[in-house]
Amino acid sequence: MLLPRRPYRPHRSALLGAGHATIEPGQVLDEMPLLSARTTVEDVVPRQGGSSVVVRAELPGNVFRSRFDVATGVLLDNELIQSAQGTTIAGGLRELP
């Protein structure tokens, strides 16, 4: 498996969406009815030095949870849950770059 040389950093507007001033739990970021896919803000979590946002993407049989640092957009950790196989795959940063 190849790993990127730099941490994934989505643009802040990708987390906030057009016209959104805040990030709130339950906020829908994207929906694709054809794929039965939905991406939402699951939680906003205070942490040392700021806060992080947990983004949840759901597809039939799969749930992806990614936690980003709100100030920098750095991906802190992510998790893939495959319900059919009962498998969970997780990974994350030890510290911010």
Q: Is 50 exposed, middle or buried (0-12, 13-18, 19+ CB in 10 A)?
A: exposed
0.85 surpassed by pTM: no
Average pLDDT, the chain: 78
Q: What SS3 class is residue 65? A: strand
Query: Helices in the chain by DSSP H: which ranges?
Result: 12-16
pLDDT of residue 70: 85
Question: For the chain, which residues make up each domain, given as ranges?
Answer: 27-92
The Cβ of residue 42 has, within 10 Å, a number of other Cβ atoms equal to 18
Question: Measured between alpha carbons, how far is 29 from 38 in angstroms, rounded to an integer?
Answer: 8
Find tokens 């946002």 and name the residue. Answer: 53
pLDDT digits (tens, 9 = 90+) for 2-60: 444 554 455 444 554 444 457 889 999 899 988 899 999 999 988 887 888 999 999 99
pLDDT of residue 56: 94
